[in-house]
Structure 1
Amino acid sequence: MVERSDPPRYVADSAGAPPVPPPGGYRGARRALLGANGVVGGGRPQGAPAEAPPLPGADARTKSPRTLGWIALAAGIGFVIVALILLVIGAADAFFSPTMLVLQLVVLGLAIAAVATRAGRVLGAVALTVALVLNVGTMGALSTVRVAATGSYAGHKTDKQKLWEAYPGIKDKEPSRFLNQQSLEQLQALADETLADVRAQLTAQYGLQWVKSADAQERPERNGYGGESMLVRFTSDTWATTTPVTGYAHKLEVMRTIESVIAQHGWRGMVAFNDPAGGVDPTMISKMYGGATPETQVDWEWFSDDEPDPGWFYADITDLANDTTGEYRASREQTAKRTGEPLEGLQLAIVGRYMLSEKKVDDFTKALTKYP
């Protein structure tokens, strides 16, 4: 007996067979599959056509935006370096020149173009921030402020401007005035003698003790043409009492004693700036000295000079017993902490403006020959 085998799964013809895959395979055939066909991961079914190679220039198009971002960033950094150099040398006018404005626009344009691309967006944003923050307006303003503060402008000055910048005297003031007045050394000697006599007399009469609250100093005077003159502003040693000077009658007596002593050294009668009898608005007097009348004021300021010479004598009293708000005490505590001077009491100092040293007379005279 002949055994019958199972009928074949497929017959010889196409009847019952699965359809032939379309050209290129089924959609999604590249997905990861695990099955009888053994396709794993990013493989493709057996017999499927190979992937098409990338189009020529596709990689270049991807790199181009990133390159544009780097170019924009480099341009922004270069612009900042140029601006910093101009700031250091004090060329304030260069920031507002057509060249700098064009460079600024170029940097801004590159930054905006880079931001518009996906690959160069981050670098472009950095470059755009630099271009907006450190622009010609900001850097130009900084340069102008620096030049105004230091007087270091050396841009496109004419020879005439440079000549007058070195003028040894003061604009609109006759040079002979500085040659004929007290010299710096003479005022220094007068200040030492006057202040020593005043301190000695006040100690003898009222028992006041003293401490030097600031050393003498000299500061060059500006000549009015953008430079420094050969003249200086002199401030003597500042002396302060270690104990308060309080009470209207006592303060008045102390000031009159000072006036009598300085008169012996050629100083004129003293003027009380804090006295409303001088015609100053009482409201202003109150704001400046802490009270509308000398009896209620925290500060007293008396002044004298030795005209026609340039010396100014100052005697100031701070009396915190009249400070009803505590504002003056708080201010004085901050000052005392910074300078070490007493909180209150009497202070003496002498100031001289436009002082010419005897050591510079010849140089001053010689330098004046360059000017009409």
Structure 2
Amino acid sequence: MVDPEQQRSRYVTNSDGAPPLPPPGGYRGARRTPDPAAIAVQNAVATIEEPKRPANAIGWIALVSGILFAVILLGTFLAGGTDTIYGVTMLALQLVVVGIAIAALLTRRGRRLGAVALSIALLFNTATVGAMGAVQTSASGSYEGRKTAEQKHEEAYPGIKGTSNADILAQPSLEEIRASSDAALADMRDRLSAEFGYTWTQAGDEDLRPERNGYGGESMLVQYTSAKWGTNEPIHDHDRKLAVMDVIDEVLTEHGMWGIISLNDETSGLDESMREKLYGSADPRTQDTWEWYSDDYPDPRRFYATIYDTSHDETGEFTASREAQSARTGEPVEGLQIMFLAPELLSEADRAEFEQKLEEYPGY
């Protein structure tokens, strides 16, 4: 019988039954845990042996080039040179800057500065800054980039291309047109009120809009639009509409204008489809809009009389549009509206300056 105490001591003092010792140098392919102290020593040695080296020349050249290019672009933008930004020279300069930055990226010592230079070039480039300049130019209306001195001179032309300056000086002035128009409108309101009992609402004041001169600028002439007057009472009856136009025609004749004509019936020369599109129907008896016209050719005055009648609106669209217009301008939704318009007028106050400027444009 084996003594248990002897059996226990056998494994404590002897190697019988224990795994064999590894061969010298350890097992092949076995993982070794590096010694932290050894790693620290190696890093310290590497640091001592390989000190940080400054960026090379190409890195600094790339950085300085990127900054200078950004400064040039911003300076051109602030000066309003949108055309210069998109010019061939600026595009070529940008390509040079990008090329230098890429070259710096390919070197170890210039990589960091090259990356910074490339970032600047991508942020401040001709496309981005040029777009900002175009927006600014569009907002201010200053398109001076590539205009020649002759073009700039023509932009300041006081008259209108294709219109005789002699005719401009011979026609009634703005002040004369305003006075005659106001007088005619006052007479119409008085006559129509006396005969039909109409009351009136003024929709806005007169409007003066500068006329273009045909050379890219504004002339010294204006387009005059009188205040618009409208009856507060609707006019639905066909015969009443004709009677109203007869009264207006009499007043216009007294003020030296041609007889009033209808634009919404067959005498206008418009075919039925066009009258239906413009006035709601080809038949004046069922139209939602009447429009009549007169002028005093060769003088510039033009007169418009319009009657809005919502009683023929079957869909409600016309009424809705008239209500929206009334909300914007304050004019009545229905009834008669009368107004004058005259283009290309010169004010008496500008006549002397106009003639003086014309001396700079012989042959125009």
Same fold (TM over 0.5): yes
TM-score normalised by structure 1 residue count: 0.73
Q: What is residue 51 of structure 1 aligned with on the other side? A: 42
C-alpha separation in 1, matches of 2:254 and 2:189: 14
**1:162 aligned to which of 149, 152, 158:** 152
Please state if 1:340 is matched with 2:330: yes
**1:269 aligned to which of 259, 266, 281:** 259
1:312 Cα deviation after fit? 0.7
Q: What is residue 316 of structure 2 aligned with on the other side? A: 326
Query: Deviations for 1:210-234, whole angstroms, at most 9, x for unmatched residues?
Result: 1110101212211111222111111
C-alpha separation in 1, matches of 2:37 and 2:145: 79
Please state if 1:249 is matched with 2:239: yes
C-alpha separation in 1, matches of 2:323 and 2:256: 36
1:29 partner letter: T
Q: What is residue 356 of structure 1 aligned with on the other side? A: 346
Change (3 A) 1:121 1:284: farther
Change (3 A) 1:271 1:132: same
The gaps in structure 1 that reach 5 residues or longer are 1-5, 11-15, 31-43
- The answer (yes or no) to whether the contact 1:104–1:135 under 8 Å persists in 2 is no
My pick for the range that moved more, 155-164 or 246-255, is 155-164
- The answer (yes or no) to whether the contact 1:115–1:122 under 8 Å persists in 2 is no
1:158 Cα deviation after fit? 2.9
The gaps in structure 2 that reach 5 residues or longer are 1-8, 15-19
**1:227 aligned to which of 217, 224, 240:** 217
Please state if 1:304 is matched with 2:298: no
C-alpha separation in 1, matches of 2:348 and 2:319: 43
Q: Secondary structure at the match of 1:50?
A: helix
**1:178 aligned to which of 168, 190, 193:** 168
2:268 partner letter: G
Q: What is residue 83 of structure 2 aligned with on the other side? A: 93
C-alpha separation in 2, matches of 1:299 and 1:70: 71
Query: Deviations for 1:172-231, whole angstroms, at most 9, x for unmatched residues?
Result: 111010111111111111011000000111111111111110101212211111222111
C-alpha separation in 2, matches of 1:69 and 1:323: 73
Q: What is residue 201 of structure 1 aligned with on the other side? A: 191
Alignment of 1:98-109 (within 5 A): 98-103=88-93, 105=95
Give the total of aligned pairs: 336
Q: What is residue 34 of structure 1 aligned with on the other side? A: none
Q: What is residue 29 of structure 1 aligned with on the other side? A: 33
C-alpha separation in 1, matches of 2:352 and 2:299: 21
Q: What is residue 17 of structure 2 aligned with on the other side? A: none
- The answer (yes or no) to whether the contact 2:77–2:129 under 8 Å persists in 1 is no
Change (3 A) 1:201 1:48: closer
C-alpha separation in 2, matches of 1:195 and 1:180: 24
C-alpha separation in 2, matches of 1:322 and 1:348: 21
Change (3 A) 1:216 1:71: same
C-alpha separation in 2, matches of 1:47 and 1:161: 81
Structure that is richer in helix per residue:
2
C-alpha separation in 1, matches of 2:126 and 2:147: 30
